[in-house]
Structure 1
């Protein structure tokens, strides 16, 4: 095999191995049971800022001292005050509001 093909295969293997680590936390993967959606809604759709405010209030109700939140992929990304000071980025499942790693 030429050096170029060997190098390309090595780079591909590294990228595939590192892919899950680079992708970030996974949310919504551990929901048991069946989920159905019928496309029925009542009222107006939430704007992005409304949804962020709702998520912020839900996290605070669960005792998370979040300063701001946003949807990030399939997760909620929150900036949370640490008890010893400073702010830390944490991820939460948008269905259960449980922290994910």
Structure 2
């Protein structure tokens, strides 16, 4: 699997953007939100997700919808994801 950082493809004019990303153990991006909704499927590893509304554990072989404009941060525990980013205009 090729590691594709979202920043590398975020400029593409696509309503729906599927990418795969590998995160080494312990990666903790700071608080952020995405331009579109995100649906990460956790192929392997575990994501610990925190939002203003609470926290969740997302184990391998599960996914989670992060709707707009959800501010969140995640702790990656040796994670490989397959994510779909969805632009707001793509959803009726």
The bucket for the TM-score relative to the shorter chain is under 0.3
Greater strand proportion: 2
Bigger Rg, structure 1 or 2 = 1
Tell me the TM-score normalised to structure 1 length: 0.22
Tell me the TM-score normalised to structure 2 length: 0.23
Q: Which structure's relative contact order is higher, taking Cα pairs within 8 Å and 6+ residues apart?
A: 2
Greater helix proportion: 1
